[in-house]
Structure 1
Amino acid sequence: MLELLAYLAIGAASGLLAGLFGVGGGVIVVPALILLFAQIGMGSEWIPHVAVGSSLAAIVGTGAASTYAHHGRGAVRWDLVARLAPGIVIGAWLGAALAGFIPELWLTRLFAAFLAYVGLRMLIPRQIHQDRTLPGPRGMWTAGGGIGTLSALVGIGGGTLTVPFLSNRGIDMRKAVGTSAACGLPIAVAGAIGFMVVGWGREGLPDVSTGFVYWPAVGAILLASMPTAPLGAKLAYQLPVGLLKRLFGVFLLLIALRLAY
């Protein structure tokens, strides 16, 4: 029962953050699952892999809810989603394949380093260069490939990479967040399938899992995250997001230190 309540709490927090910051929720889901799986005694060899795979599977639902909310406000540039999607899908498959060869300790450290990067970015925002323009088709495929690969490796929807990429090229911030939420769907679908395939037949995985995707966690997280994602998107238009980002940045740095040590 306590395990179920923990999954629900993780889902509620991830959905809220997905809608509020466009980060996909994985920055909460993955570290929370890593710590929770260790507490409930899941086999330690595959804990971070199962956390990442399950996060990607859950982001399919969370991202869909967030995308729908942003689309309703006219904040999704579907033309940009279409230009980034092919590279994103290929990159997500590549990231999932690479994760299958990374040892448990180093995958955890990789995610800790990524969390530290995201936390610092929220505390020290980079200057936006509105004079930059979007690259051509090859450049968009390359950008999508890079976003997809890293996102699948660390189990996120790609918002922490897609939003600055778009906003630095003259896209309005709210449309960058909405478009990023939509880009998280192909990342999550391709990445989750990749983690199922790469983890298929591995010894020591929990029951009720498909490869590196653990369905009890995915189901409970989805149950709680899908209603809170639209709420987060609504709050993004009402709350002082700048202050919230700084507080969230500090929180991510603390989580990164906990995972690293």
Structure 2
Amino acid sequence: VTTAASGASHIKFGNVDKYTVSRLTLPGAIGAFVGACFLSNLPGDVIKPYISIFLFTLGVYILLRFIIQKQIVTSNKRMSAKQLVPLGLFAGFVDSTGGGGWGPITTPVLLARGNEARKVIGSVDTSEFPVSLAATIGFFISLGWEQVSWVWVFALMLGGIVAAPIAAWLVRIVPAHLLGVLVGGLIIFTNIRTLLTTFKVDPTIISLSYVTVGLVVIISIFIAVRNHSNRPNASTAEYPNDQKQMLP
């Protein structure tokens, strides 16, 4: 329900690339179903650190991409079906076996290709509904209904329904250069948390790492804003059209 509300909100605000959604959805659902059915026999905790290292690296790349280069041209070249299908399969599989991974895996990969930030976020969120549905069916088949905490389910549903349209609206209006920095910072933050907790690092070091990442993101925002302000035509619309866009 939450992912359906999120997808509907992104469609309403024009944040969705139908091509990407159509080619991610089915393989993602298949990967999620398979992962959910075989979760009890899969070492998800063993795989997590390696995936987090990969995503952490992508997060750093995205962050640097939006703060170092003063002018970035958004790529109009979409990923091919041969690229999107395995991406969807892998992300869906990890999503159900690792307790999350659809957005953290697909979003940085698509952003690293130079796709428009709001379209990436909207497309990933929209395609997540069938992925979540397939994973849910897989878990019900494997574990049964009695394993579900319905109080948590309804609480998450309610919160998601309220937050989804607000998030989609923010993605629509937030300038692309700030959105890229925020997404990169969030990817770094979530994956450094996974790595540090997996290797049982001292809590003090973990807290210092969180503060450091937060400071890096704040500084990166200031740099991105400064670079954007120094552009010759910085006062022009951030999104002149859906085909061509100049990013700072």
TM-score by shorter chain over 0.5? yes
- Give the TM-score, by structure 2 length: 0.62
Q: Does 1:216 align with 2:135?
A: no
- Contact between 1:119 and 1:252, CA under 8 Å: does it hold in 2? yes
2-structure distance, mates of 1:245, 1:167: 9
Separation (CA, whole Å) in 2 of partners of 1:186 and 1:230: 19
Aligned to 2:134: 190
Larger Rg belongs to: 2
Q: Cα gap change, 1:118/1:214 in structure 2, threshold over 3 Å: closer, same or farther? A: farther
Matches within 5 A, 1:169-208: 169=113, 171-200=115-144
Go from structure 1 to structure 2 and tell me whether the alpha carbon gap of 1:86 and 1:225 turns closer, same or farther (over 3 Å shift): closer
Deviation at 1:251, TM superposition (A): 5.4
The answer on 1:241 being equivalent to 2:176 is no
Give, in angstroms, the shift of residue 231 of structure 1: 2.1
Which of 147, 164, 170 does residue 229 from structure 1 map onto?
Answer: 164
Alignment gaps of 5+ in structure 2:
66-71, 201-248
SS at match of 2:41: coil
Matches within 5 A, 1:95-106: 95-102=35-42, 106=43
State percent identity of aligned pairs: 24
Query: 174-183 or 65-74, which moves further after superposition?
Result: 65-74
Residue 63 of structure 2 is aligned to residue 122 of structure 1: no
Q: Aligned pair in 2 of structure 1 residues 260, 187: CA closer, same or farther (>3 Å)?
A: farther
For normalisation by structure 1, the TM-score amounts to 0.59
Q: How does 1:19-30 map to 2 (within 5 A)?
A: none
Instruction: Mark the runs of 5 or more structure 1 residues left unpaired by the alignment.
Output: 1-60, 201-209
More displaced 10-residue stretch of structure 1: 75-84 or 189-198: 75-84
Does residue 90 (structure 1) correspond to residue 26 (structure 2)? The answer is no
SS at match of 2:110: helix
Of 70, 79, 93 in structure 1, the residue corresponding to residue 10 of structure 2 is 70
Query: 110-119 or 91-100: which moved more?
Result: 110-119
Where 1:182 maps in the other structure, the secondary structure is helix
Please report how far the alpha carbon of residue 107 of structure 1 lies from its aligned counterpart in structure 2 after TM superposition.
Answer: 3.0
**Structure 1 pair 117/143, CA: closer, same or farther in 2 (3 Å)?**
closer
Secondary structure of the structure 1 residue equivalent to 2:30:
helix
- Counterpart CA distance in 2 for 1:194 and 1:183 is 18
* TM-superposed deviation, 1:109: 4.5
Measured after TM superposition, the shift of residue 120 of structure 1 is 4.5
Superposed CA RMSD? 3.1
Which residue identity lines up with residue 134 of structure 1 in the other structure? M
Alignment match, 2:230: none
| Contact 2:31/2:91 (8 A) holds in 1 | yes
The one-letter amino acid paired with 1:163 is T
2:80 maps to what in 1? 135
Report the alpha carbon displacement of residue 132 of structure 1 after superposing the two structures with TM. Answer: 5.5
Q: Is the 8 A contact 1:96 1:152 kept in 2?
A: yes
Shift of 1:245: 4.0
1:142: Cα distance to partner? 3.0
1:139 to 1:114, Cα distance in 2 relative to 1, 3 A: closer
